Structure 1
Amino acid sequence: MQRILTTLFLSLLSSWLYAQSHSCCLDATRAFAAFAADKNFNSRHENPRPYRHVSDIGKDITFPVAGGQPAHAYELRAKGRSHLWLFVFHEWWGLNDHIKKEAEKLYHDLNGQVNVLALDLYDRKVADTREEAARLMQNAQEARIRAIIRGAAAYAGKKARIATIGWCFGGGWSMQAALMLGKQARACIIYYGMPEQNVEKLKELQAPVLGIFAKQDRWITPEVVKTFEQAMQEAGKSVEVHLYDADHAFANPSNPRYQSEATAQAYEQSLRFLKAHLLEKGK
């Protein structure tokens, strides 16, 4: 009986989120933050393993945000003058050292030709437990996050060509940022985050999208992914989707459900996508 009730609850939740994601009245954070109330969703996120990132080239910075306090980010500057940027969006844990490590890996694998900026959407709050992460994600304010993204774009400059990448909570914001950036957007990568499904909004998208999703994900389900693909096609936009036989958050090495093979394949797809659409076409 418990299994039947759980299945029914998840089905109703997915249907509600689908309906809400098509509503002009729902902001981008609430659609995904609703998952934080689901104990099953929380249980899929084991507390991150301790890690301290030390770097000779990355540094914490702040930049102005219109109408609010300065924003925080982790930055790696290109080796030479470059108008190419990669905005990195963290998971529900916040801008922790695992994300800084991932940002630095991307920086090196893009040959130091791209400025990498890992944005802090929680204003220096970082969760060590899934309970804290759930609270942070539920309390995140869309207006503040959008102001941070606009501030980051202003910091990069009007000539900047920008790609976005994010995981989970940050995956959804990777897509929202690409929509906000307009013609400055060059590529968007979503790792198992809530994709935009409103066709009218997607018509404004200027960047191709790479979606990395998990077949076993009970929240960003294969059905949600299929609806997203159909919406992108209806909007006349470029989308490439890869579904891995894995669970939600499979690419997080601090997660006991981490799948190294799927992660490696997804990373190679992401790197190829960034090189093709940012390094080659972004210049």
Structure 2
Amino acid sequence: MKKIWTLCTILLSTITMASAQSTMSCCVKPASQNATEAFAMLATNEDFSGGHDAPLPYTYAGTGQAIEFKTPDGQTGKGFEIKSATTSNKYLFVIHEWWGLNDYIKQEAAKYAQDLPGVNIIALDLYDGQVATTPEEAGKYMQTVKTDRAQAIIKGAMQYAGANAKVASVGWCFGGGWSLQTALLAGPKAVGCVMYYGMPEKDVAKLKTLNTDVLGIFASQDKWISPEVAAQFQKDMAAAKKKVTIKSYDADHAFANPSNPKYNKAYGDDAHALSVAYLKKSFKLKS
């Protein structure tokens, strides 16, 4: 959700020089360990760090609680949960961007909890408890993210939700890419996926395993998660015989983030309403 298009510039330029067929972006597509590590190393680049303003101080004071759960790699995962007022096997996983699971993300989780009664909300922590307050910290923490560990956290959260859980996901940029990966990892448990300007999965064989359709929210002025990227994702999903709905706004990357200079309230509100309507349908909630 924070402004991170500078990273996109650096990342795509680097990968293009290395291989004309390799593409990465600020919204990491965790397709392999090497790709994830290449992305993390660029977090130390001064241009990348300098392109990020530190988030304004904010303290979330609403409902919810920190949780821990076992992960398949023998460790413990962390998250922030807002339980449904009624017993429910419906779960929405909310996935943070590069700052980590901070109070802004908890507020986003609370918004979805209010809009989706009957759904348990879990904001996942892919940074294992670390929260950045400066670009330097965020760059350092980004480097610690390994594909296998992030996947283990997501799988652990699914085990926490239970064998009969119905899971949907939503995330922004870094979290947008991981939202799609969450849907892939969820298998038959997946019922919905919202990705805000995140890099799509390009492996059609993997997309064929999706158990859900996808809502992709993009920005037409985004130079890296561009209209061409969105169009290719649409083609790949068609090849996989999976449904995707693409909504593109005449805005720039991170337009849905209120603390970003590129924020567009009208578009942000509309995108959120679209996401809520989609998730209500996914979870079969009353409108």
TM-score, structure 1 length as denominator?
A: 0.88
1:61 alignment counterpart? 67
The yes-or-no answer on 1:73 pairing with 2:79 is yes
Contact 1:47 1:255 in 2 (8 A): no
How far off is 1:240 after superposition? 0.5
TM-score, structure 2 length as denominator?
A: 0.86
C-alpha distance in 2, partners of 1:108/1:276? 16
The yes-or-no answer on 1:265 pairing with 2:280 is no
DSSP 3-state at the match of 2:263: coil
Please tell me the residue identity of whatever aligns with 1:218: K
The yes-or-no answer on 1:198 pairing with 2:208 is no
How many residue pairs align between the two structures? 273
Structure 2: gaps (5+ residues): 1-8
C-alpha distance in 1, partners of 2:177/2:246? 15
C-alpha distance in 1, partners of 2:30/2:161? 32
Identity %: 47
The yes-or-no answer on 1:51 pairing with 2:45 is no
2:22 alignment counterpart? 19
Contact 2:95 2:175 in 1 (8 A): yes
DSSP 3-state at the match of 2:184: helix
- Cα distance change on mapping 1:256 and 1:276 into 2, 3 Å: same
- Cα distance change on mapping 1:88 and 1:10 into 2, 3 Å: closer
Instruction: State the superposition RMSD in angstroms.
Output: 2.6
Please tell me the residue identity of whatever aligns with 1:136: Y
DSSP 3-state at the match of 1:68: coil
- Cα distance change on mapping 1:43 and 1:177 into 2, 3 Å: same
C-alpha distance in 1, partners of 2:67/2:31? 34
1:163 alignment counterpart? 168
How far off is 1:132 after superposition? 2.0
- Cα distance change on mapping 1:267 and 1:32 into 2, 3 Å: farther
- Cα distance change on mapping 1:32 and 1:52 into 2, 3 Å: same
Contact 2:132 2:138 in 1 (8 A): yes
C-alpha distance in 2, partners of 1:100/1:52? 9
1:90 alignment counterpart? 96
Moved more, 150-159 or 244-253: 244-253
1:102-133 deviations in Å (ceiling 9; x for gaps)? 0011000112x100000000011111122322
Which of the numbers 10, 19, 29 marks the counterpart of 2:36?
29
The yes-or-no answer on 1:130 pairing with 2:122 is no
How far off is 1:36 after superposition? 3.6
How far off is 1:273 after superposition? 0.5
Please tell me the residue identity of whatever aligns with 2:83: R
Please tell me the residue identity of whatever aligns with 2:70: P
Please tell me the residue identity of whatever aligns with 1:189: V
- Cα distance change on mapping 1:278 and 1:258 into 2, 3 Å: same
Contact 1:28 1:142 in 2 (8 A): no
Contact 1:20 1:26 in 2 (8 A): no
Moved more, 256-265 or 116-125: 256-265
- Cα distance change on mapping 1:84 and 1:17 into 2, 3 Å: farther
DSSP 3-state at the match of 1:149: helix
How far off is 1:49 after superposition? 1.1
1:155-199 deviations in Å (ceiling 9; x for gaps)? 000100000000111111100010000010000000111110111
C-alpha distance in 1, partners of 2:129/2:54? 18
The yes-or-no answer on 1:186 pairing with 2:174 is no
Contact 2:32 2:147 in 1 (8 A): no
Contact 2:126 2:150 in 1 (8 A): yes
Structure 1: gaps (5+ residues): 1-7
C-alpha distance in 2, partners of 1:256/1:23? 28
Please tell me the residue identity of whatever aligns with 1:70: T
